[in-house]
Amino acid sequence: MFGLPLAWGLLKRFWPLAVIAAVIVSVLLAIRWHEGRKDELSRHFFKAGQTAERVVWEEARRRAELARMAERRAAQIEIARREAELLAAETQAADETRILADELERALSAIPPDQAPCRLGADSAVPDSVLDPLRRLGP
């Protein structure tokens, strides 16, 4: 009982200081709460910014990948076109060579053996190492 009347007496005497102290404590608590809230909001906005940047980065990466894929497709089409041209040119050259070889064979077979324009004999400049296998083949 002794403490309560004393506290009441002190409160009556120093109530303006108690009010000021209570206001100061309330303000400090409000500031601390606001700082904590501000930190929480800044973390929230920071994470939102990170997410937005990640979305932008992923979109840019996706577009770059699509551009690379389109470039690869165009290059592959160009390679296939050039390969087809080369194959057609090689086929045409092979056909022309075959046709010329066939014409030469027909022309040579039409000439009688005794009227051949060139006969390989002893006075030719062709070495014997080449002539011997040809003689074994016949006229």
pLDDT for res 26: 87
pLDDT means per 10 residues, the chain with 139 residues, are 67 75 85 73 83 94 97 97 96 94 85 64 68 74
Task: State the pTM of this model.
Answer: 0.43
Structural contact between residues 139 and 118, judged by C-beta atoms closer than 8 angstroms: no
Structural contact between residues 33 and 25, judged by C-beta atoms closer than 8 angstroms: no
Half-sphere exposure of 139 (CA within 13 A, CB side): 10
